[in-house]
Structure formats: structure tokens, C-alpha cells
Homo-oligomer: A and B are copies of this chain.
Amino acid sequence: MIALDAHGADGGLQVIAEGARRAGVPVRVYGPAGAAELGRLDVVDAPTAIGNDEEPVRAVRSREDTSIVRAARAVAAGEADGLVSAGSTGAALAASVLHVKRIRGVHRPAVAVLLPVPGRDILLLDAGANNEVRPEHLVQFAYMGSAFMEAVRGVDRPKVGLLSNGEEAGKGTPDVKEAHERLAAADSSSLNFAGNVEGSDLTGGELDVVVTDGFTGNVALKAIEGTSKAVVRAIREAVTSSPVSSVGGLLIRGRVGRLREEIDPNTVGGAILLGLRGVAVIAHGGSTPDGIANAVRLAQRAHDERMIERTQRALEAAGVLRSAPTGSFDSQ
């Protein structure tokens, strides 16, 4: 069963309720029990939400009755197989770290996103949890991303690249160079490391996982989303701008529609938090009901394919877990 946060979707409760109905897997909704939209669903009463403008850690600590905190606690208690929220990313992250908790020895959780580009799936992480990362964080991200692609997307020996401003090993910031050295030294049976990759490789179709810090990852993700939309929009405008090309446009509409679906973030479902002891998926605020349903299915699949255990095992086998106990919430 997936714990679904009723709050945060731009489309309101209606989108969440319809998404829950379409998901095809058991869902418990955390939201206002009396709301008519949620009528026939399994609802836990959690009428308040954490907004995008609140300081997430403080809000999560002080407001135990919010929907995201209750959903996270359900995952922590083993009552739910995972959580899905279309609300504040910061709140979902804070609630997950505080209640679901990190895998022992993981420095930082990462936000991982399947890029909305045509062709082969590429997982980008970190896409926004950590503005600044140390080399050891990037190394853990490589194993976390690889484990996700193996477990959830069925990719055999995922090819992992380290994002930099050049393909040569010596390119990048000092932290990227050090991460490169460590990853290049990894046992190739545990990590299929492809070396440094560039921004153009995010859409090149040769990689399965690309690792970077959360600042660069967030900028790259949004640049890719924005460019996809701008180019598709420009083509649509070009096509409808003359009678002849309008006829052409009608003839290609079906095919281009399928492409637009492929580059629509709703198709993927959302970002997944990696490095935690439970499954947490963050859906787009602008999700459609199908977007919510896809996010719920992604969370259920991550649970069913034992993503957490496989991630933990991969990190352990590689010897990249830190030895000091975790569990505290150090500066995000």
C-alpha cells in the first residue's frame, strides 16, 4: 500500500483523488477526511499541509499532524510500502530524512529523476537535495543510482557517468576530479563507470545514470525540460502558421503526440528520493491524475523490487558507506 499525500498538487484534491483511483495499486490518502473529492477512498485524516514557503525542517519537526509527516511515519512504521507527495520537495525530503531515515552509512539522500527526453531512460541525481556535495557523496550517488536502474527499470549493469565540463579525467571542479578518481578505481563488477560526461550526454542515449551535485543537477533538469517544451512549441507554431503546413501538421499529429507524451514529466511520475530506508516519490506540483497514478506505481514498484535492500547491499559491497552511525539530521 502506498501513502499518498493529498496536499500540494496544483490541481487540488480532485487530481489526487482521481490519480489514486487510476493507480491500480492499493492507496491510502493522507488528507482532509471530510473532503467530498476523497469520498470513496481510504483516507487518514490529516487536514493540514506544509507550504512551499515554510522552512521545511522546522515545519516537519513542529507539525506532526501534517499530511506529509503522517505519510512518512506510516512508511517508517512499515504500514505503507512507500509515500508519494506532490507538495513541497523540501518538506517531503525533511519528513523522509527525519522519519523514514537514511540507510545507515549514507551521507545524504539524493533526488533522482528520470529525464523527460526521447529515447533511452537516463536517471539524473542529485537533482536538488544538496546544493553542495563532497566527493564521497558523489560516489554514493553513483551506487544509489545504479541500484535504482537495476532494481526498478531492469537495466543490466547500468552505465554511470559523472557530470563535468569535459570528458577528460582532469576536467571539473576539485571535488569532481576527486570523485572521478574514486569512481575510476571502483571494481568494475560492482559499478559500470563511464567516466566524465558532458551536458550533451544527458540526451545522448548512451548512459543510464548521471551523477552530479544538486545545484548543477537542478539547473540541468530544468534546462532540459524547458528546452523540450520550447522546441515542441516552436514546431507547433511553425506548423500552424500556414495553410499548407497546417495540413502537414494534421498528418503528423499522432506521431508527434506520442513524442510529447515521452517528454512529459507526468509520464515518469516524479522524482524518487534515494538513500533512505523506505520509498519516497515526489510528484510534480503540476501533475495530472495520470501523473499521480504513475508516481504511485513507481513507488510500489520500487518497494516490490526491493530497491532499498539492493541499494544497501550495493553500497556495502563497494565499501563506500561511512562507518559512523547516522540517523541525526545534519545540515541539508
Q: Is the CB of A239 within 8 A of B219?
A: no
CA of A228 to CA of B118, assembled, Å: 11
Which B residues are in CB contact (< 8 Å) with A224?
199, 223-224, 227
Alpha-carbon gap, A130 to B233, bound state (A):
33
Given A199-B222, A203-B226, A172:B238 Cβ within 8 A: no
CA distance A266 to B280 in the complex (A): 44
- Complex formed: what's the CA distance from A165 to B239 in Å? 34
Q: Is the CB of A256 within 8 A of B231?
A: no
Nearest B residue to A247, CB-CB: B251
Q: Which of B198, B201, B227, B242 contacts A231 (CB 8 A)?
A: B227
Is B220 in contact with A220, judged by CB distance below 8 angstroms? yes
> Known contacts A203-B226, A220-B199; is A215 also within 8 Å of B248 by CB?
no
CA distance A153 to B263 in the complex (A): 33
Q: Which of A173-211 contact B (CB under 8 A)?
A: 173, 176, 198-205
By the criterion CB–CB under 8 Å, are A165 and B248 in contact?
no
In the complex, which of the residues B119, B165, B203, B225 contacts A128, with contact meaning CB atoms closer than 8 Å?
Answer: B165
Say what secondary structure dominates the interface of chain A. Answer: helix
Q: How far is the CB of A252 from chain B (nearest CB, A)?
A: 4
- Report B-chain residues with C-beta under 8 Å of the C-beta of A85: none
Does A245 interact with chain B (Cβ within 8 Å)? Answer: yes
List, sorted by A's number, 30 A–B pairs whose CB atoms are closer than 8 Å: A118-B233, A118-B234, A132-B173, A165-B215, A199-B220, A199-B222, A199-B223, A199-B225, A200-B226, A203-B229, A205-B230, A212-B219, A216-B216, A216-B219, A219-B219, A220-B220, A223-B224, A224-B227, A227-B228, A228-B231, A231-B232, A238-B259, A239-B252, A239-B255, A239-B256, A244-B251, A245-B251, A247-B251, A248-B251, A249-B252
